[in-house]
Chain A
Amino acid sequence: MSQRPLTARARPDRQPHSLSEWRALGGYAGLERAMSLSPTEVLETVEAAALNGRGGAGFPAAKKWRFMPDGRSGDGPSYLIVNGDEMEPGAYKDRFLMEALPHQIVEGAIIASYAVQASEAIVLVRDAYRPAIAAIGRAIEEAVAAGFLGDDILGSDYSLTMRVHASAGRYIVGEETALIEALEGKRAVPRQRPPFPAQVGLWGRPTTVNNVETISCVPHILENGAQWFRALSKTEEGGTKLYPVSGRVNAPQLIEAPMGTTARELIEQCGGIAGDGNLRCFQPGGGATAFLEADDLDTPLDFGNMARAGSMLGAGALIVLDGTACPIGVLARHQRFYARESCGWCTPCRDGLPWVAKILDALEAGEATRSDIDVLRMTAREAAPRGRSFCDLMGGAMASLASALERFEDLFDAHLDGGCPIARGGVA
């Protein structure tokens, strides 16, 4: 039983396994175990494992599954969707899982589908990940041929079909209700909630959406047990976590480590901080999470601890800035990205983000005024709260902006006098 269950089986060349190779490594043992249990027992096992959703919000996976109607609804289909639309700045963990370990996802999706009694599973993958689209497609075909998918799986009376849906760009597709719209052949505009997808989801039917990494944990929980999974973690939240590290570290890499590993430990594993070797700040969960500084280097990176620190674990994507990196420059690129990727439905997001991005560009160019910074403050305050827009795109973007305004006030001011002082080689 590996301490790195999600990645230990991966081949060094990152090429996907055939089904027989995967079986030889112990694959589909979790599915066999699951099919010997009732759907409720599977759900309870995952619940006892304290598996929090890895897509960003950290919502307990089993609790989400419990929102689905009991048993297979006799009056039509229900769906399990695996969200492989990874596009968060700093995140590249789902790419690895999909490209190198597609059978882990197929197996996990079958088990999750069984637990919620879905009749069809769909893996949605972004277009820029075409190697992943191909790998998962092949894994599904092999699983069908082996009897792990289709009618009466492993001699049970449970039947399931699975397919890949290839997307075609746009970050917002990864928002779970936008994703459902996308699957219905519409522009990917998030839905207002309630109703939640478990009640009214794809084609109006009960639907659960889980992240690729969440689903990849499921076979191991079933194979090795809930207590084993919990014990992998350093905190109350079960399992390991895939931490994609990027930015100014000497050897940026994807690290599978116990949930609750600290930024200091991850940075050490990445060969330390690059540039001037000094940490200026970091984002613990990708572009849409609040900046933290050295006093949080030893805070466990899990959902609860990051929330208490005023940030979020998000995608677990650790972005590191050294003393020669400007957080306002990083923020400018994040905000340009979110402005470009807004679906355009809600006014604060559609109109507010381009405005924010424009001001940050002006700050970098030395063309901003003090009143521009007031506009940033006003936008971060007024546009961020839940309910001002249908989804969390704007809220996430404003979390990084608000934290930067709070932590780097002097640096914002310094930009008023001729642009970025760090780019000019001046003050840090």
Chain B
Amino acid sequence: MSLSPDLRGAIRGEISHHGGARGAMLEALRMIQQAHGWVSDAHLQEAAAILGVPQADLEGLATFYSLIFRKPVGETVILLCDGACCWLNGADAVRDALMARLGVGFGETTADGRYTLINIACVGGCNRAPAAVVGRDRALVGPLAPDRLDAVLGAPR
């Protein structure tokens, strides 16, 4: 699927806001991901052409930044904290329960395409540990418990 005319225009518009095309590269990737959920090879190629930057440079950024996705993700992305502060408050049991409920490991998407589970640290919710951030709004949820996963699974996309 190619980028919509609106999105192409929006990416072009970012150039002036970021001190030039190079400064707009990451924002372009974010905008593509916002619209399509992830960044495909074709999208990279198109965006590089719009910005007038080498495709390899754009791909270098896309692969460096852990929250730019280079393969399709589920409707809801769950960023589950695997840091020490969450571990001290029972994060391992939450992780195991979530993986069992979804049937996926870290970095994987459920067969029905609804959820992608990703481990991250730290989500800045150490006072609500074990914590996660969920969905497009990156809503902070916690404290989680193995028998209280609705905060994660019921959150808006």
Contacts and interface: CB of A to CB of B under 8 A. Distances in A.
Q: State yes or no: do A and B come from one complex.
A: yes
Interface of A: 86-92, 94-95, 127-131, 163, 165-170, 182-188, 202-203, 244-248, 252-254, 287, 317, 319, 321, 325, 329-331, 333-334, 336-337, 343
Given A168-B68, A183-B23, A319 B127 contact: no
Given A170-B65, A333-B87, A185 B26 contact: yes
B24 interface: yes
A92 B137 CA distance: 18
Contacts of A129: 124, 138
Given A182-B26, A329-B87, A127 B138 contact: yes
Contacts of B22: 184-186
B19 A247 contact: no
A128 B26 CA distance: 15
A90 B126 contact: yes
A127 B114 CA distance: 21
Contact of B85 (A90, A130, A188, A253): A90
Contacts of B26: 165-168, 182, 185
B66 A169 contact: yes
Given A86-B124, A252-B126, A330-B88, 13 more contacts: A88-B122, A89-B126, A90-B83, A128-B138, A131-B139, A246-B85, A247-B88, A287-B122, A319-B88, A329-B87, A333-B87, A334-B83, A336-B82
B127 A254 contact: yes
A337 B17 CA distance: 33
A89 B138 contact: no
A328 to B, nearest CB: 11
B120 interface: yes
B61 A87 contact: no
A89 B127 contact: no
Nearest to A324: B88
A244 B127 contact: yes
Contact of A89 (B27, B79, B122, B140): B122
A165 B123 CA distance: 18
Interface of B: 17-19, 21-27, 29-30, 53, 57, 60-61, 64-68, 79, 82-85, 87-89, 120-129, 133, 136-140
A337 B127 contact: no
Nearest to A92: B124
B156 to A, nearest CB: 12
A266 to B, nearest CB: 12
B118 to A, nearest CB: 10
A170 B66 contact: yes
Contacts of B64: 170, 187-188, 343
A333 B83 contact: yes
Contacts of B89: 247-248
Contact of B127 (A92, A185, A331): A92
A168 B67 contact: yes
Contacts of A170: 64-66
Contacts of A169: 65-68, 120
A128 B127 contact: no
